Amino acid sequence: MFQIPRGTRDFIPEEMYKRRYLQQRIEEVFRRYGYGEVQTPTFETLELFTAKSGESILGEIYNFKDKGDRELALRPELTAPVIRCYIDRLQMAPKPLKLFYFGNCFRYDRPQKGRYREFWQAGCELLGTDTPEAHAELVALAYTILKNIGLQNIILHIGNLYVIHAMFAKLRITDTDKKDLLPFIDKSQFEDLFSALRAIGLSQTDTEQFIDILQTPDLEKVAAYVKGNEKAEAEIVRLRLILTLLKDSFGITDARVKIGIVRGLDYYKGLVFEIEAPVLGAEKQLCGGGDYELVNLFGGTPVPQAGFAIGFDRALLALETEQFTFPTPALDAFIVPVNETALPTAFTIARDLRSQGLTIDLDLLRRGIGKSLKYASTQQARYAIIIGPKELETGTVTLRNMQDGTQTTCTPNELSAQLLTSRS
């Protein structure tokens, strides 16, 4: 027996049906917002990811040398590949450029519920604009996708990295100390943060106030804290405008300010946001995104960039946990040729109905009617089409409603109309 690699999953048909349904629902919304799909390779040069995230990413990446001695890596995310593709092929495209993707990602993470070594992300990149309305639309898109797929309970947090940096500057915290402190902020480990801030010499009052501002949903309190820092003040005006647009133009009334969002990444700059599904417990983060600078880092012509990534597997898990009713696969009809003589007619009818877009299966095991009908039930067939000697003689078929067991006789030509009208 071979074992599936740790942290990976097989998806059987009923699971794939749900996954494809969800993928389609997500992609639909991206398209409605004017985004076009891009697809990039599953592996890239390792350097693409170390350039973006530093050598520290090596611990969580699947990298290898190919037969030509090239250092490659399975992609851990899709922003860097999409930006590489943009620089290769799309720099001259009219702006703003709206790109979305759906694809598998690989991380050498410690597997648990909602955390896998192969998982899927649906996300997008917006290039060429950083107006407040562009950012508001981006946040609204992420939120709308998750609401549109049917999630009842999600929480949207919005922050701004310039504001955090102003907070550090206010307390004269050095860059080296900042690097050590950011992971605590990122993981909301405020007790550890408290000790670390005290250890670098901050007073108890300063420490408590700093931690309070990181968590407060009150933007005016944050504004008062960073008053006097011009950049931070301008960013707060922007954030206020984005929140107003979200409320008044996109109908999103429950966006919450959280300055303590740092996204753990160096290349983000202003806006940052996260969406979580509390129902998921520990691995509740569904989506993360913001305003970043990668194009210049990768050698392209500087251009405003922003984007987000949704954890597809977690979105599915959250829906399942909220007891969402997914549509289930069903056959329009299962054809039962009662004997071998009926087989050619059965196949002709199947071919005709399939060509009209109906989902049709037929007995391939030469089973009797009883067993065939039982099997048809397990396949959620709505109807059975029975073809026996009597039917062959009269050029008709017996149409059996699998739900209530009622049977009618009709000609093969009448079948598709019958099956289509009873579909809804």
∠ CA 101-102-107 to the nearest 5 degrees? 110
Which residues are 306's β-sheet partners?
Answer: 126, 291
Binding mask 30-69 for ligand AMP (x = CB under 6 A): ----------------------------------------
> For residue 149, what is the DSSP state?
T
Residue 121 CA, distance from chain mean position: 5
Which residue bears the tokens 């009617």?
A: 369
Strands, E assignment, 92-178? 97-106, 118-127, 155-160
- Specify the stretch interacting with ligand AMP by CB under 6 A; choose among 243-251, 281-289, 327-335, 372-380: 281-289
396 three-class SS: coil
Binding-site size for ligand AMP (CB under 6 A) equals: 16
> For residue 339, what is the DSSP state?
S
Nearer to ligand AMP, 290 or 337 (CB): 290
Nearer to ligand AMP, 106 or 383 (CB): 106
- Specify the stretch interacting with ligand AMP by CB under 6 A; choose among 14-22, 81-89, 197-205, 284-292: 284-292
Closest CA to 250 of 164, 141, 412: 141
* Distance in Å, CB of 279 to ligand AMP, minimum: 13
* Distance in Å, CB of 54 to ligand AMP, minimum: 15
In this chain, which residue has its C-beta nearest to ligand AMP?
311
Nearer to ligand AMP, 114 or 304 (CB): 114
* Distance in Å, CB of 293 to ligand AMP, minimum: 16
Task: Give the count of beta carbons closer than 10 Å to the beta carbon of residue 383.
Answer: 23
- Specify the stretch interacting with ligand AMP by CB under 6 A; choose among 92-100, 185-193, 280-288, 375-383: 280-288
In single-letter form, the type of residue at position 224 comes to: A
* Distance in Å, CB of 112 to ligand AMP, minimum: 9
- Specify the stretch interacting with ligand AMP by CB under 6 A; choose among 19-27, 114-122, 183-191, 401-409: 114-122
* Distance in Å, CB of 99 to ligand AMP, minimum: 16
Are β-strands 268-276 and 155-160 bridged in parallel, bridged antiparallel, or unpaired? antiparallel
φ, ψ for residue 162, nearest 5 deg: -60, -35
Which residues are 99's β-sheet partners?
Answer: 36, 125
Binding mask 285-324 for ligand AMP (x = CB under 6 A): xxxx--------------------x-x-xx----------
Nearer to ligand AMP, 8 or 24 (CB): 8
φ, ψ for residue 387, nearest 5 deg: -125, 110
Closest CA to 326 of 12, 18, 10, 5: 18
Nearer to ligand AMP, 275 or 362 (CB): 275
Question: Which residue in 49, 101, 119, 162 binds ligand AMP (CB under 6 A)?
Answer: 119
HSE value, Cβ hemisphere, 13 Å, CA-based, for 283? 18
How far is 274 from 258, CA to CA, in rounded Å? 9
214 three-class SS: helix
- Specify the stretch interacting with ligand AMP by CB under 6 A; choose among 218-226, 282-290, 292-300, 364-372: 282-290
Nearer to ligand AMP, 63 or 207 (CB): 63
* Distance in Å, CB of 80 to ligand AMP, minimum: 10
Binding mask 67-86 for ligand AMP (x = CB under 6 A): ----------x---------
> For residue 3, what is the DSSP state?
P
* Distance in Å, CB of 289 to ligand AMP, minimum: 8
Binders of ligand AMP among 90-109, rule CB under 6 A?
107, 109
How far is 386 from 391, CA to CA, in rounded Å? 8
Contact present, 257 and 247 (Cβ < 8 Å) = no
Q: Could you list the residues that contact ligand AMP (CB under 6 A)? A: 77, 107, 109, 114-116, 119, 121, 285-288, 309, 311, 313-314
